[in-house]
Amino acid sequence: DHSDLVPEVIDSPIPSTTPVKSPALLPRLHLIDEQQKFSEELSTYIKQKWDLKEAGFNYNLAAVFGSQSTGKSTLLNRLFGTNFDVMNETARMQTTKGIWISKGRDMKVLIMDVEGTDGRERGEDQDFERKSALFSVATSEVLIVNLWEHQVGLYNGANMGLLKTVFEVNLQLFGGNRGKEKTLLLFVIRDHVGSTPLANLSNTLRADLERIWHGLSKPEGLEDCKITDYFDFMFTTLAHKLLQPEKFESDVDKLRIRFTTPSDPNYVFQPQYSKRVPADGLHIYAGGIWDKIMTNKDLDLPTQQELLAQYRCDEIANAAFATFTEKIKEFRQPVESGNIVEDLGEKMQEIRGTAMKAFDKDASRYHAEVYKRKRSDMLAKANTMLEAYFLGQLKNLHKKAVNMFSSNLQQALKIEGSDFATVVAESKTEVLDYFLQGAKAIKLEETEWTYEEEQFQLERGLQEFAIAQREKELNKMLTSLEKHLRKELDEPVGLALNNPGPSMWGRVITIYQRTVEDAETLLHKKARTFDLNEEEQGELIVNLRRQAWVLLTKKVQEESVDGMLLLKLRSRFEEKFRYDDQGLPRVWKPDDDIDTPFRKARDETVELVPLFAKINNVDPVKGGKFELEPTEDFDFDQSLKVLSETRQQELTTKFKRESDAFYLEAKRSVVATQAK
Ligand code: GDP
Ligand code: MG
């Protein structure tokens, strides 16, 4: 108890000499409370109340140590413009236990006020002190050790016990990191009267520290380690606040420079003390450490750093990813509905770039290896999501290319004399170029995406399409050719058969030959358009000839059905019997011989039946017999047959019966004339 040294004044939390820009006090946080619970609000304070969200590594963390009521909180408030509780002298109340944290006014420094105790005999307090020390060493760059001048040299004093704890836990934490991770211990000697110079005081302290260090039980393998492997030391004094108030204030002002001015030779926040925890991850790191301390687990700091990095990198990646997925949504509908999205490659590249940049900005501050791993995870994930659009657009490009190719071919086939093979080759080059250009534009760097398979499929598809298209167009052409043939054959053949006689079949054969020749000429003309080779042409012509012949024989059959044929016979008979040689209708007189002309006309007509019975295939122009090669379902000889024996007899009988009627009619007409 230092009540003898404590004034009657209630200390103001705002030091008069600190430049005050805003009267509002910076909020402080009860980081670890009396129940030893770690606050859930650290992140909110860092981001919102202290404005350190974007600070990254650009902030520092210090903690103060020392026995109770040695003016620690008073000093912090003066130094940093903070608002830590100071023991109220009138009420003499113990300030709240635990660890408080606040931010220095107008400086990016976080300060932890660790409420010490004097009740070292009480086990629970000793336990909390140890935990606080462990926590402070693991998180802070600088530990301010606060002590009265008269405590210096009191080796067994409470302060020394605390330091012993600090050293022990530090060895436990950083033992393996000898010389790499250092912590600065800044001894602030209070109520310095001035009779003992700082040099003497610091020597005494150093000797004490060495003594403590020597007495520590060191972990295996570190038996010979030195205190300076782990700690740097600084010593300073402050005048008595009550006896020399002005000197006290100016001492504090001088001390502040060490915390705020990197160019100062005594600047405390040297890079080697940094714990490499970005501001936006401090809550995770510090919380994790407190958790380990509470559960009494091994506080493996490198592991803590990695865990922090993993946690934070995931968090940062998720945030970046949320924006990323939102942005790439716009491609979904157009790509799925078969459209080709303009500048898809550039847009994907940009969105991915923005996401990676957002990730890099915050995540690159964390454990390098973890960051690198998480980065490639994120890139892979982004690429996987984008690949769907890459593949979708590739498919659409493929479809579009086929459509272009198809309309090119159709266009070309419409043009008389166009060269199918050339059109196919040129069009193929054009649409493949189109496809490749589109594909290259959407293949992003740092991906394994390929379009070669799709390209291969496209090329094969085009080839197949060209073949099918040619087939289709060729068939169309052949169908219209057939129509043409029928038109050319039907009427002339009908006419020829309606004027039966010995030259009838010769005329029919001539009609056939002429029609087929016309069609062949047309086919030859189309040969280039359809890229027909000699063999194909030959085959088509053979088919054409057969087809024309089949059409012709069909027409012949039509003309030879009973009714049609009887009509032909009757009209020939009438011609002969009812008309005279001049073609005038005969009027029978009583003396006329009806029987002879009747018999003559009937016999001549009946002779036509065997003529109709079989096509006479003698070519009257070229001479010789006209013939066609038979096929499986085409028998040329059979095709020549028109009327069977039976049908010939039936027709003859039918005709004769009909002719009898004419005979009777002729006879009756004579009787009728006589009766007049
Ligand atoms: P803490 O418990 O170490 O945080 O100490 P406080 O800052 O609460 O101060 C405890 C008491 O010491 C208060 O009454 C302060 O007014 C007083 N005090 C603060 N600084 C000094 C100082 O430099 N010298 C003396 N003698 N008293 C001080
Ligand atoms: Mg205090």
Write down the residue that tokens 């054409």 correspond to.
544
Ligand 1: nearest atom to the Cα of 190: 23
Answer yes or no: is 68 a known binding residue.
yes
Per-domain residue ranges of the chain? 3-299, 300-450, 468-559, 563-676
Name the 3-class secondary structure at 317.
Answer: helix
Q: What is the pLDDT of residue 313?
A: 93
Q: What is the pLDDT of residue 378?
A: 95
In this structure, the residue with its CA closest to atom 27 of ligand 1 is: 6
Beta strands in 193-303 (DSSP E): 231-239
Ligand 1: nearest atom to the Cα of 66: 3
Answer yes or no: is 66 a known binding residue.
yes
Beta bridge partners of 631: 634
Is the model's pLDDT at 383 over the cut of 80? yes
Ligand 1: nearest atom to the Cα of 69: 2
Q: Angle 209-213-219 (CA atoms, 0-180°, nearest 5)?
A: 155
Position 675 confidence tier, pLDDT thresholds 50, 70, 90: low
- What's the CA-to-centroid distance between 30 and ligand 1, angstroms? 20
Name the 3-class secondary structure at 299.
Answer: coil
CA distance 550 to 293: 103
Q: What is the pLDDT of residue 627?
A: 92
Answer yes or no: is 653 a known binding residue.
no
pLDDT averaged over the chain? 88
In this structure, the residue with its CA closest to atom 13 of ligand 1 is: 87
Best probe residue, ligand 1, of 11, 80, 88, 114 (max atoms within 8 Å of C-beta): 11
Q: How many CB atoms are located within 10 Å of the residue 199 CB?
A: 9
- Out of 246-255, 577-586, 635-644, least confident range: 577-586
Best probe residue, ligand 1, of 72, 86, 248 (max atoms within 8 Å of C-beta): 86
Answer yes or no: is 44 a known binding residue.
no
- What's the CA-to-centroid distance between 140 and ligand 2, angstroms? 18
The ligand that comes nearest to the alpha carbon of residue 70 is 1
The ligand that comes nearest to the alpha carbon of residue 249 is 1
Instruction: Please give the ipTM for the structure prediction.
Output: 0.99
Enter the tokens of residue 170: 């530090």
With 0-12 / 13-18 / 19 or more C-beta atoms within 10 angstroms meaning exposed / middle / buried, residue 204 is: middle
Task: Note the maximum CA span of the chain.
Answer: 186
In this structure, the residue with its CA closest to atom 23 of ligand 1 is: 241
- What's the CA-to-centroid distance between 65 and ligand 2, angstroms? 10
Contact 129, 162 (CB under 8 A): yes
Ligand 1: nearest atom to the Cα of 70: 3
Position 404 confidence tier, pLDDT thresholds 50, 70, 90: very high
Strand 142-148 versus strand 60-65 pairing type: parallel
* Helix and strand totals (H; E) in the chain: 19, 7
Is the model's pLDDT at 20 over the cut of 50? no
Secondary structure of 98-154 as H, E, C letters: CEEEEECCCCCEEEEEECCCCCCCCHHHHHHHHHHHHHHHHHCCEEEEEEEHHHCCC
Q: What is the pLDDT of residue 369?
A: 93
CA distance 349 to 332: 16
Q: What is the pLDDT of residue 446?
A: 94
Q: What is the pLDDT of residue 85?
A: 86
Ligand 1: nearest atom to the Cα of 67: 3
In this structure, the residue with its CA closest to atom 22 of ligand 1 is: 241
In this structure, the residue with its CA closest to atom 21 of ligand 1 is: 71
Position 138 confidence tier, pLDDT thresholds 50, 70, 90: confident
- What's the CA-to-centroid distance between 83 and ligand 1, angstroms? 14
Which residues have any ligand 1 atom within 6 Å of their CB?
A: 5-7, 11, 66, 68-74, 86-87, 89, 95, 190-191, 240-242
Position 317 confidence tier, pLDDT thresholds 50, 70, 90: very high
Position 121 confidence tier, pLDDT thresholds 50, 70, 90: very low
CA distance 480 to 169: 100
Best probe residue, ligand 1, of 6, 64, 82 (max atoms within 8 Å of C-beta): 6
Q: What is the mean pLDDT of residues 138-161?
A: 83
- Long-range contacts, 89-96 (Cβ 8 Å, 24+): 89/6, 89/7, 89/8, 89/9, 89/10, 90/8, 90/10, 92/3, 94/68, 96/30, 96/34
- Long-range contacts, 297-300 (Cβ 8 Å, 24+): 299/134, 299/138, 299/172, 299/173
Q: What is the mean pLDDT of residues 358-365?
A: 92
Q: What is the mean pLDDT of residues 664-671?
A: 88
CA distance 48 to 458: 57
Pick the CATH number of 3-299 from 3.40.50.410, 3.40.50.300, 3.40.50.920, 1.10.10.370: 3.40.50.300
Contact 137, 114 (CB under 8 A): no
Answer yes or no: is 73 a known binding residue.
yes
Q: What is the pLDDT of residue 676?
A: 58
The ligand that comes nearest to the alpha carbon of residue 74 is 1
User: b or e along 147-157 (b: 16 or more beta carbons within 10 Å of the residue's beta carbon)?
Assistant: bbbebbeeeeb
Answer yes or no: is 70 a known binding residue.
yes
Amino acid identity of residue 539, one-letter, is E
Q: What is the pLDDT of residue 653?
A: 95
In this structure, the residue with its CA closest to atom 26 of ligand 1 is: 5
Is the model's pLDDT at 2 over the cut of 60? no
As a dihedral over the C-alpha atoms of residue 383, residue 387, residue 389, residue 392, rounded to 10 degrees, the angle is: 180
Most confident of 80-94, 381-395, 524-538, 589-603: 381-395
Ligand 1: nearest atom to the Cα of 86: 8
CA distance 508 to 619: 9
> Bigger pLDDT: 134 or 30?
30
Enter the tokens of residue 255: 């001390």
pLDDT (tens digit per residue) in 602-621: 999 999 999 999 999 999 88
- Out of 8-17, 340-349, 389-398, least confident range: 8-17
Contact 636, 628 (CB under 8 A): yes
Position 5 confidence tier, pLDDT thresholds 50, 70, 90: very low
- What's the CA-to-centroid distance between 89 and ligand 2, angstroms? 12
For the chain, what is the radius of gyration of the CA atoms? 57
The ligand that comes nearest to the alpha carbon of residue 88 is 1
655 to each of 61, 441, 612, 660, 662, how far by Cα in Å? 129, 85, 14, 9, 11
Contact 572, 500 (CB under 8 A): yes
The ligand that comes nearest to the alpha carbon of residue 98 is 2
The terminus-to-terminus CA distance of the chain in angstroms comes to 175
CA distance 486 to 166: 112
- What's the CA-to-centroid distance between 583 and ligand 1, angstroms? 154
Is the model's pLDDT at 279 over the cut of 60? yes
pLDDT (tens digit per residue) in 179-231: 677 899 999 999 998 899 999 999 999 999 999 999 888 888 888 899 999 99
% of the chain surpassing 70 pLDDT: 91
- Out of 65-79, 176-190, 315-329, 379-393, least confident range: 176-190
Name the 3-class secondary structure at 97.
Answer: coil
- What's the CA-to-centroid distance between 154 and ligand 1, angstroms? 20
Is the model's pLDDT at 1 over the cut of 60? no
Nearest to 401 by CA among 448, 451, 445: 451
Ligand 1: nearest atom to the Cα of 116: 2
Write down the residue that tokens 């490198």 correspond to.
302
Residue 430: φ, ψ to 5° = -60, -50
Ligand 1: nearest atom to the Cα of 76: 7
Q: What is the pLDDT of residue 158?
A: 58
Best probe residue, ligand 1, of 87, 113, 191 (max atoms within 8 Å of C-beta): 87
The ligand that comes nearest to the alpha carbon of residue 68 is 1
Ligand 1: nearest atom to the Cα of 10: 16
